[in-house]
Structures are given as structure tokens and as C-alpha cells.
Chains A and B, each alone.
Chain A
Amino acid sequence: MDSVFSNVDRAPEDPILGVTVAYNNDPSPAKLNLGVGAYRTEEGKPLVLDVVRRAEQQLVNDPSRVKEYIPIAGLADFNKLSAKLILGADSPAIQESRVATIQCLSGTGSLRVGAEFLKKHYHQCVIFIPKPTWGNHPKVFNLAGLSVEYYRYYDPATRGLDFQGLLEDLGAAPSGAIVLLHACAHNPTGVDPTSEQWAKIRQLIRSKSLLPFFDSAYQGFASGSLDTDAHSVRTFVADGGECLIAQSYAKNMGLYGERVGALSIVCKSADVASKVESQVKLVVRPMYSSPPIHGASIVATILKSSDMYNDWTIELKGMADRIISMRQQLFEALQAKGTPGDWSHIIKQIGMFTFTGLNKEQVAFMTKEYHIYMTSDGRISMAGLSTKTVPHLVDAIHAAVTRVV
């Protein structure tokens, strides 16, 4: 008898993760992986932060530690510390107990749990996401049951923000619609609004009662400053309004595979926050019962020790600075080579990624001829570059731009 799954189609490889799969299959010694957004050192190696190793040693060497189920909402002190980290220790929302924070599986898990909660309890089922955005965003929201619309964001002509288009599209959104905002270091473009632009965005969102849902995956990693990178989120909280925040520790603590994150929901009152938390638990319990203990324990250990916290901020700034330096080097190398075009966006954009502006054909050319791997939208991970490999990338870009239209 035939399989009951015979009709199941082979799904295509995830486009972002598929880049690394292709890279791994390439035997060329000159190959360069500028695909997935994970930090690499100057030597091209993954990095486990020193402070993370210390925290982990402390935990594992403590014989009194157990592996019992943690609460459905996760580790309580991790949650409190995470809220303080993103909102600021002096945040009135925290002082007034108006924030419900639930440990989730990194950014993706926080987005999915938040979206399922909104689908169940919020009066509007549409979320507006920027064009372009991280490839997984629409899938997360669709599977949560929300419908997805786009607002204009990236302007290919300037390789910057299409601010007018953004205001028009959010202005035309139905009252109460949910709006996904990248807190900083927009993925994939690296293009962020200025503070003034953020203020206008906030006023528009509040005037139309749109519900902000922040994706904060790069706090501290973009500018090197935790407070600077949280600024956009904090201005929204400061106006007294409500919002959701998905927080990830994948990049800024290098905890990628441990899946550590938090969903915070800032509410108008403590009473509402408490009810919200109880309802979010009903989303979590039938999904995976309770979140994993290890990564959140590492984060809590670091955030609650002022020494470790300080050490962390230094290592974090080290990573951010190296990326900024790669931007500088790449830009200067392209200028030195006389590569046609305006490449200033490389140093204007912020965060792990640069939206090069290269088209699909140019990208394919660079992969085939120069063994350089990136996503087909022309996004490169600056974290994957080093002083040694910048020249190779520059040669490839130069060739692509002059030979492939």
C-alpha cells in the first residue's frame, strides 16, 4: 500500500539558511560566506563571549542547580532583567508594573507567541510589515493567523529610507492595525529612521491607534550602545502607550543556538498586564509547555552581576566596532578601486547587514565566479568579512558591477 504522505511535495530549502548549505558544499579555498547573520571574528570564526563562558562555568559547576521545569512564562529574574534591559531600569512602565514579560525562544519565538496572542485577543488581525523585511517575518505572522500587509520602507534609488512612502502607507492603514517595527539595524537593509523620523512615525502610529510590535534583535550590536539602540522603543513607551517587543539575545550575547529571547507587552495598567500574562501562558503551554532553562540562566547570571554586565558591554562594543570597521574598509576599498556607483550606503547603513544594491544576476555571478555567498537580494553580512577578505569582495563587486547588468 502507498504512503499516506506520497503527495507531500519537497519544500524548497530556506533561502537564508540555504546559502550556508551551498557554501558548505563549495570546495574552493577562496570561498566567503556572507549569508547568515551570525558574528565572525577577524579570523572568520564563530565567537562565544568570554563572559558567556564564565557564566556557563558558574552554572554548571554549581551542584545545587537542578533541571526542573521552569514556569510557563520562563525564568522570573530573566524576565525582569530583560524588561529592564530593553526599556531602561528607570522605565515608568516597569515601575508601574505595566509590563508583562515572557521568556520565549529567541526573536522568532517571541514574535510567534506575541502574534498568536494578538490573533486571539486583539481586535485587528492585520499586521503591516516593512518592504523588505526578514524573510521569516511573513511566515511567522501567517502561521499565527494574522494577515500580512506591507508598508514601503526601502528606496532602491537612494539605498535609504522611503520615508514619504512609509508615512503614506501607515497613514492609510486601518485604525488599530498592528505595525512591525525593526527597533534598530533593519534586516536586511541596514537602513534605520533618524530620531526625528522616529518621532514622526510614533506620532502617526499613536494618532491612528496602530499597535507597534518591535523586533529587537540587535540591541547594543548596532551602534555599540545598549541605550542608543533601544531609543526608538523607549520613546514609544515614554508616551504612555502600549506596544509589544520581541527581544533576542542571539546576536548581542552570541547565544544563537541556545534560543534565548523575551516577549514584553507594555500595557496601560498593571491589572491589564497581569491578565495579558495569564493569557500569553495559554499560548505557550500548547506550543512547548515551558521554555528552555540553560540560555536564560546564562543571560540572568550576566545581567544581574555588575562586573559581568560591564564585561559584556565591552565585548559587545568590540563586536559592533569590528563591523563598523569592516564597513569603513569596504567603502574605502571600493573607492580606491574606482568601482562605479555611489557606495556611501555601506557606511550609512547600520548593523550586521548591508543591502548592497546588487541584483540577482550580479549576486549569482559573484557566487559562481568568486565563490562569494550571499542572499539573492544582495544582502551581505558584514560580520562575515575580515580585513583579509575585503579585497576579494571588492574585486567581486567591481567585476559584477562592470560586467553584469
Chain B
Amino acid sequence: MKTNDFSSSSSPSDRRIGALLRHLTAGTDADRVSSVFASPTSGGAGGSVFAHLVQAPEDAILGVTIAYNKDPSPIKLNLGVGAYRTEEGKPLVLNVVRKAEQQLINDRSRIKEYLPIVGLVEFNKLSAKLILGADSPAIRENRVTTVECLSGTGSLRVGGEFLARHYHQKTIYIPQPTWGNHPKIFTLAGLSVKTYRYYDPSTRGLNFQGLLEDLGAAPQGSIVLLHACAHNPTGVDPTLEQWEQIRKLMRSKGLMPFFDSAYQGFASGSLDTDAKPIRMFVADGGELLVAQSYAKNMGLYGERVGALSIVCKAADVAGRVESQLKLVIRPMYSNPPIHGASIVAVILRDRNLFNEWTLELKAMADRIISMRKQLFEALRARGTPGDWTHIIKQIGMFTFTGLNPAQVSYMTKEYHIYMTSDGRISMAGLSSKTVPHLADAIHAVVTKAL
């Protein structure tokens, strides 16, 4: 057996073993040293090369559901993660999705070969039409490159990596607050992240002045993340007039818009209405990025279906941009998954299925809007102190209640109501039956001196 005191090893655990050995064997003869070694067939003396790792905290948002699942209380309510629930509190697979899936599975000619790196081509074309409008000049002029990605997150990450590599400005401005995963995505993509003022806690609305000031002060060419509609977590959206001002300001400073569109059709019930801000930017002829998700509006959450579109000034540029997007995707996961995108393509290309989809989509949006009304009226009926109109003014899946972490904690502990600590509740998780319980909890926590 070789003698080796490990002191020159680059492994910290090896060096510790070495120090221990020297301490133990000081003054003894070399033969005794060899018996202290671990068997030569074991994977190296010393502990794990990952021994220094710390347990990472559970993801804040997903951690809420984990805590909810552990709670044995029969009255518990999960208002954490943003996935739609029916009046009965159940997840929903859209009828039109089941139909499309059956069609696919029963087609014996279908195969499971690799998609192109850019994904399912028909899916890409249909997705661009959906977000930009079928009559979009950018599409007609072939100025849009669209690549299938893994839902919204994947589209943001691929777009972010592309910008970090090819765009002259490596800073992205994100609204304060924003979805918890946004800063991590862009940082890992290689961009540096700054924030712009967005939410005004005193009005529970938009801090428009602050937004204009912060974007006005951003360096020329900076990237700006914009929530296309139904801002997550606040539910506060600019009006169309405000959007127009934002657009003018951004174009005057050459700021690059990067839209996150996770709720098209899900917010107002209308696909066109929810796409309007994006289309305003495209209509001015300028460039932008759009990350599109089908998780919520088609209920395809776990299938991970989305698309990244980059609108360029010219078709030639779009072609070159697409070729470079492929160099981002190939070393990440080679090519995207076929199943979810195929479902979307089946629905979008068929007039009947498309129409059915818009009806189911509107029903989901309407139920959420109805929950907002019911919660607002329940709080009014209880005379809960404070102005709760933001509940019906905000839009989309989430309401930023304005409750603080201490109040949120209290509601979880005493009322078994689960939400993220920033006071964000998912309206999709409510039903007519559970609104009273929530209203009682809010009332209790607001009237208590916490």
C-alpha cells in the first residue's frame, strides 16, 4: 500500500484525513500508517466531495403547497401556487385538451422522433399568430423568429441567455415586486438584474410616476421585463393610456422590451385584449422579445409548453437570430418535448377546437372574476376595516392583499389558510364555499393588533 500523507491533495477532506493521520501516527513506524487507510477499493479516503453543501431552502412558492399538504385540518385552504381550481377545488384538464390528446394518441401514424432544435414548426407559427395577431405585419414580413421552449420559464431563460451573448446591454430591469423566480432566471442566464418601481402599497395600485422615473433613468438600450397582463404577484396592470406612455418612453431610450405573457386570455377572458400591450409595441415597428406560456390558459402546466418570439427589424436578422437561439438550446436540452406542443397545435389549427378553447378559457377567467367580487362583498358585509377595492381592481389569478408576513403567518396558523408570505393569494384557489372562511380570516387578522 502506498504511503501518502494527503497534505498536497486538493481535496479538503483528504487534507483533513492527512492531518488526522499525522496526529494519530506521530512517532509510530510507517507500517502502522498503512493500516489506517481505507480499503483501496473504496472510493477514496475521506468523506463526500459534497460534504460542505448546505440544505437549500424549499422554493418559497412551491413550499407553500408542501406545507399545505402536510396540514391535517379539514378546513385548510391552499391559496399558494397559481394553478387553476374549479368551484369544487379540483385541478382542471380542459375538455378541448382531452379531445386533442385523444386525437394524437389514436393516430397510429404518429411517431416520437426528435423535434427540430427550434421545436414543432407548426406550433411556433400558431403561437406567434396567437400572441401577435393573425394579421400582424411583423409576421407577414417574416420578421419574427419563434422557438418552442419549456413554458414561460424556459422561454425567459433561453431569451436571457441569447441576450447575454448577443445584445450590447447586459442589464435587465424587472418590476418591484415580480415573480420570485425572475431574478434567478436572468442572473443564471448571465444578465445583471436591477429593479424599477411598480407597486404602490399605499394605493395598492401602480406607482406610475416611479415607473417612469426609473425607466427614464435606465441606461440606453437596457432590457426591460414587462408583464404583458395580470402582473404577478400584484394583479396591478397599467391602463392602455399608461402602456402608451411606457412604450413611448422605452422607444425614446432604445430600451429593449422583454414581455412575459403567462395569462393571455386568462386575465380578461379575451385573448386579444390581454395581448394588446404587446401588439402596441409591435405596431410601432420596433423590436422586442416575448415569452409565452400555455401553462394557465390551456391548463397544460406539467407539460411545459411555451414559446419565445423575437420580433426583429428585418427578416434576415430574424433568420440569423434564430440560428443563434439554436446554439443556446442545443447545449441546454437539445430540443424541446413533443407532447404538449402537439396538443396546442391540434387545438390552435382547428377552428372548432379553437372556439371551444376560447369558451373554456373565458369560463375560467369569469370564475376568477366572480371570486374577486364575492370576496370583496364578503369583506364589505363584515365591515372589515380598510379599503378592499383593490381586490376587484386587480386582474388575473392573484390578488396582492396588502397583508404583511405576520398577518399571513397568523392566518396560516389559526385559519389553515396557505399563501405566500408577501400576502399574495391565488383567486383560482377560492370557491363560493370557501370565500366566507377566507373573509373571516382576513377580518380577524386585520382587526387584531399584529
A residues with a Cβ closer than 8 A to B are 1-14, 17, 36, 38, 46-48, 52, 56-57, 60, 63, 65-72, 104-106, 108-109, 112, 121-124, 136, 139-140, 142-143, 174-176, 203, 206-207, 209, 211, 236, 239-242, 250, 254-259, 265, 267-269, 272, 274-276, 278-279, 281-282, 285-295
Knowing A38-B114, A52-B112, A69-B302, say if A121 contacts B42 (CB, 8 Å).
no
On whether the beta carbons of A109 and B333 are closer than 8 Å, the reply is: yes
On whether the beta carbons of A258 and B112 are closer than 8 Å, the reply is: yes
Q: Across the interface, which residues of A come within 8 angstroms of B11, CB to CB? A: 123, 175-176, 209
CA distance A9 to B323 in the complex (A): 8
Knowing A46-B113, A292-B340, say if A259 contacts B335 (CB, 8 Å).
yes
On whether the beta carbons of A292 and B303 are closer than 8 Å, the reply is: yes
B49: min CB distance to chain A, Å: 6
Q: A46-B111, A122-B49 provided; 16 other pairs, C-beta below 8 A? A: A5-B287, A6-B313, A46-B112, A48-B112, A66-B91, A67-B93, A72-B62, A108-B332, A175-B9, A207-B40, A209-B11, A211-B49, A265-B50, A267-B50, A278-B58, A290-B304
CA distance A3 to B102 in the complex (A): 44
CA distance A38 to B115 in the complex (A): 12
B312: min CB distance to chain A, Å: 5
Closest to A289 in B: B153
A159: min CB distance to chain B, Å: 28
With a 10 A CB-CB cut-off, give which of A57, A67, A106, A211 has the most chain B CB atoms.
A67
CB < 8 Å neighbour of B53 from A68, A175, A276: A276
CA distance A176 to B50 in the complex (A): 12
On whether the beta carbons of A174 and B10 are closer than 8 Å, the reply is: yes
Knowing A14-B326, A288-B150, say if A275 contacts B55 (CB, 8 Å).
yes
CA distance A57 to B301 in the complex (A): 20
On whether the beta carbons of B340 and A294 are closer than 8 Å, the reply is: yes
On whether the beta carbons of B53 and A67 are closer than 8 Å, the reply is: no
A135: min CB distance to chain B, Å: 10
- State which residues 92-151 of B face A: CB under 8 Å: 93, 97-98, 101-102, 105, 110-117, 149-151
Which one of B18-26, B181-189, B203-211, B238-246 contacts A?
B181-189
On whether the beta carbons of A5 and B320 are closer than 8 Å, the reply is: yes
B residues with a Cβ closer than 8 A to A are 9-12, 14, 40-44, 47-59, 62, 81, 83, 91, 93, 97-98, 101-102, 105, 110-117, 149-151, 153-154, 157, 166-168, 181, 184-185, 187-188, 221, 254, 256, 287, 295, 299-304, 310, 312-314, 317, 319-321, 323-324, 326-327, 330-340
Q: Across the interface, which residues of B come within 8 angstroms of A269, CB to CB? A: 47-48
CB < 8 Å neighbour of B51 from A257, A272, A286: A272
On whether the beta carbons of A136 and B334 are closer than 8 Å, the reply is: yes
Q: Across the interface, which residues of B come within 8 angstroms of A290, CB to CB? A: 302, 304
CA distance A115 to B20 in the complex (A): 32
CA distance A114 to B115 in the complex (A): 23
On whether the beta carbons of B157 and A257 are closer than 8 Å, the reply is: no
Q: Across the interface, which residues of A come within 8 angstroms of B105, CB to CB? A: 56-57, 60
CA distance A257 to B341 in the complex (A): 11
Q: Across the interface, which residues of A come within 8 angstroms of B117, CB to CB? A: 14, 17
A375: min CB distance to chain B, Å: 15
Q: Across the interface, which residues of B come within 8 angstroms of A250, CB to CB? A: 114
On whether the beta carbons of A267 and B10 are closer than 8 Å, the reply is: no
CA distance A3 to B157 in the complex (A): 22
Knowing A123-B10, A279-B56, A293-B303, say if A286 contacts B185 (CB, 8 Å).
yes
Q: Across the interface, which residues of A come within 8 angstroms of B58, CB to CB? A: 278
On whether the beta carbons of A121 and B53 are closer than 8 Å, the reply is: yes
Q: Across the interface, which residues of A come within 8 angstroms of B98, CB to CB? A: 63
On whether the beta carbons of A70 and B302 are closer than 8 Å, the reply is: yes
A207: min CB distance to chain B, Å: 8
CA distance A254 to B54 in the complex (A): 38
Knowing A67-B302, A69-B81, say if A258 contacts B167 (CB, 8 Å).
no
On whether the beta carbons of B42 and A272 are closer than 8 Å, the reply is: no
On whether the beta carbons of A140 and B331 are closer than 8 Å, the reply is: yes
On whether the beta carbons of B43 and A242 are closer than 8 Å, the reply is: yes
Q: Across the interface, which residues of B come within 8 angstroms of A267, CB to CB? A: 48, 50
CA distance A333 to B62 in the complex (A): 60
Knowing A8-B320, A11-B324, say if A291 contacts B304 (CB, 8 Å).
yes
Q: Across the interface, which residues of A come within 8 angstroms of B221, CB to CB? A: 4
10 closest pairs, A vs B, by CB? A241-B43, A3-B313, A268-B48, A293-B302, A257-B338, A288-B150, A105-B333, A278-B56, A139-B331, A286-B184
A267: min CB distance to chain B, Å: 5
Closest to A139 in B: B331
Q: Across the interface, which residues of A come within 8 angstroms of B50, CB to CB? A: 121-122, 242, 265, 267, 272, 275-276
On whether the beta carbons of A5 and B312 are closer than 8 Å, the reply is: yes
Knowing A278-B56, A286-B185, say if A69 contacts B157 (CB, 8 Å).
no
B156: min CB distance to chain A, Å: 9
CA distance A257 to B123 in the complex (A): 15
CA distance A289 to B301 in the complex (A): 11
CB < 8 Å neighbour of B181 from A3, A122, A136, A285: A285
B430: min CB distance to chain A, Å: 18
Q: Across the interface, which residues of A come within 8 angstroms of B12, CB to CB? A: 123
CA distance A295 to B150 in the complex (A): 14
Q: Across the interface, which residues of A come within 8 angstroms of B287, CB to CB? A: 3-5
A–B Cβ pairs within 8 angstroms, 22 of them:
A3-B317, A5-B317, A6-B317, A11-B327, A12-B323, A48-B111, A67-B301, A122-B50, A123-B11, A139-B331, A175-B11, A206-B41, A240-B41, A241-B44, A242-B50, A258-B338, A259-B334, A275-B53, A275-B56, A286-B181, A293-B302, A294-B303
Knowing A70-B302, A241-B44, say if A287 contacts B320 (CB, 8 Å).
no
Q: Across the interface, which residues of B come within 8 angstroms of A60, CB to CB? A: 101-102, 105
Q: Across the interface, which residues of A come within 8 angstroms of B40, CB to CB? A: 203, 206-207
Knowing A8-B166, A286-B157, say if A295 contacts B111 (CB, 8 Å).
no
CB < 8 Å neighbour of A143 from B41, B323, B332, B338: B332
On whether the beta carbons of B10 and A4 are closer than 8 Å, the reply is: no
On whether the beta carbons of B303 and A287 are closer than 8 Å, the reply is: no
A121: min CB distance to chain B, Å: 6
Knowing A121-B53, A123-B49, say if A287 contacts B332 (CB, 8 Å).
yes
Q: Across the interface, which residues of B come within 8 angstroms of A106, CB to CB? A: 333-334
With a 10 A CB-CB cut-off, give which of A46, A276, A289, A295 has the most chain B CB atoms.
A289
CA distance A269 to B43 in the complex (A): 13
A84: min CB distance to chain B, Å: 21
A7: min CB distance to chain B, Å: 8
A258: min CB distance to chain B, Å: 6
Q: Across the interface, which residues of B come within 8 angstroms of A38, CB to CB? A: 113-114
A365: min CB distance to chain B, Å: 28
Knowing A46-B111, A109-B332, A288-B153, say if A11 contacts B323 (CB, 8 Å).
yes
CA distance A5 to B254 in the complex (A): 13
With a 10 A CB-CB cut-off, give which of B56, B117, B154, B313 has the most chain A CB atoms.
B56
B235: min CB distance to chain A, Å: 21
On whether the beta carbons of A112 and B331 are closer than 8 Å, the reply is: yes
On whether the beta carbons of B188 and A108 are closer than 8 Å, the reply is: no
CA distance A121 to B330 in the complex (A): 24
